Amino acid sequence: MKIIVSQPYIKIIRTICDNKQHSIETEEFLHLYPDKIYSPTNVFQLQNVFDMSFRRINHLQGFLYLHTNQGVFSYNVTQDPFRFIDEYKRLKS
């Protein structure tokens, strides 16, 4: 199946070693397909995604929220997700 649009997001892993906190940031992608949204850790069937929203926290980043039947999942994004959200809404209508 063909990817309609992809949205990069930042995954942050925090660890403590020798009483110091270390953060590792990696870039991962949400992929929107005609019937699902795929991330490396989750697959959401489109009928189980009720809505998407975006909240900017500063001029560099924000949070993309997926409202699903399993709860709300947040993704730290550094690029505006408006195309991703628009394509999702187009598929749902």
Q: pLDDT, tens digit, for every residue of 10-68?
A: 999 999 999 999 999 999 999 999 999 999 999 999 999 999 999 999 988 999 999 99
Where do runs of H (alpha helix) occur along 1-93? Answer: 82-92
Q: pLDDT, tens digit, for every residue of 5-16?
A: 999 999 999 999
Confidence of residue 1 (pLDDT cuts 50, 70, 90): confident
For each of the domains in the chain, give its residue range(s) and CATH number, in order of start. 5-92 (2.30.29.30)
What is the distance between the alpha carbons of residues 1 and 6, in angstroms, rounded to a whole number?
14
Classify residue 47 by its DSSP letter: G
